[in-house]
Amino acid sequence: MRIVFTSLLVVASIFMAYLCYSSIMTPIEFNEKKAQRDNAVIQRLKDIRKAEVQYKEMYGSYTGSFDTLINFVNNEQIPVIMKLGELTDQQLEKGLTDSLALTLSTPEDAAKYGIEDLDQFFANFKRDTSYVSVKKSLFGENYNGVDSMAYVPYTNNVKFELATGEYVTKSQTKIPLFEAKVPFKTYLNGLNKQEIINLVKQAETLGRYPGLKVGDIYESNNNAGNWE
């Protein structure tokens, strides 16, 4: 009987030790795996933001369509102005601008802006426009993540939620907005369920989005990510 009791104590001690170890290691292991997934998701959200900002510069608004956004990055070009030389403060004060300077054709026109030698001026002042692909401009020559931009890492081809909106100021100015987001439950799927539940409850208690997102369709936040 004593041997049985002793054996039960040993088993109970081992079980308690396991519970203690598990209670310590489970959140540690979860946070390590979460951080790895967070980094991958955040990088993709940053890429989406880059593409959306450039799209807005070209078209004046954001797009809520990944097909449109990906086609824009893959196939369109943006102008790049190569600058040589700058206008002096005196020339600027006299009303000379870059575009106006390029139209100067006679010494008389140049003299109005304090330019004595027009040929010498154009030898040191040039504005050449060339075109470069959106993809190369934003992400570099070797970037190959455009076609996967819409998909959330660590999921089975689940897409980010992408939406657009606008914020109307008191002066009735309309500010275009966009957001891209994914819930914790989606990209952390497969990790410890209780830890995910705890994470979601904590975010909801604090009034925060229970996941990762960039931008906001209800208020202007300068396209910030909620991890920043």
pLDDT in tens, 32-71: 999 999 999 999 999 999 999 999 999 999 999 999 999 9
Shared domain check, 209 and 153:
yes
Q: List, for residues 115-162, the tens digit of each pLDDT value.
A: 888 888 888 888 878 888 999 989 988 888 899 999 999 999 999 999
pTM here is: 0.76
Neighbouring residues of 169: CB distance < 8 A, sequence distance ≥ 6? 175
Confidence of residue 1 (pLDDT cuts 50, 70, 90): low
The confidence score (pLDDT) of residue 175 equals 92
212 strand-pairing partners:
182
Is residue 4 a part of any domain in this protein? no
Give yes or no for residue 213 having a pLDDT over 80.
yes
**Vertex 34, ends 28 and 37: CA angle to 5°?**
150
Mean pLDDT of 190-211: 95
Shared domain check, 187 and 86:
no
Q: For the CA atoms of 36, 212, 47, 74, what is the dihedral angle to 10 degrees?
A: 110
How far is 219 from 192, CA to CA, in rounded Å?
34
Token pair for residue 109? 């026109």
Shared domain check, 183 and 120:
no
Token pair for residue 141? 């020559």
Q: Token match 């390029």: residue? A: 102
How far is 81 from 128, CA to CA, in rounded Å?
6
Q: What percent of the chain has pLDDT over 70?
A: 89
Q: Are 210 and 199 in contact (CB under 8 A)?
A: yes
Number of domains present in the structure of the chain? 2
Domain that holds residue 227: 29-65+143-228
Shared domain check, 218 and 125:
no
Shared domain check, 99 and 56:
no
Q: What percent of the chain has pLDDT over 90?
A: 55
Is residue 33 a part of any domain in this protein? yes
Shared domain check, 148 and 61:
yes
Shared domain check, 168 and 123:
no
Is residue 20 a part of any domain in this protein? no
- Long-range CB contacts (within 8 A, 24+) of 81-87: 81/127, 81/128, 81/129, 82/126, 82/127, 82/128, 82/129, 82/130, 83/126, 83/127, 84/124, 84/125, 84/126, 84/127, 85/124, 85/125, 85/126, 86/125, 87/125
Give yes or no for residue 12 having a pLDDT over 60.
no
Shared domain check, 219 and 151:
yes
Is residue 18 a part of any domain in this protein? no
The confidence score (pLDDT) of residue 131 equals 85
How far is 215 from 116, CA to CA, in rounded Å?
51
Domain stops at, among 87, 114, 139: 139
Q: Are 162 and 48 in contact (CB under 8 A)?
A: yes
Confidence of residue 20 (pLDDT cuts 50, 70, 90): low
Is residue 184 a part of any domain in this protein? yes
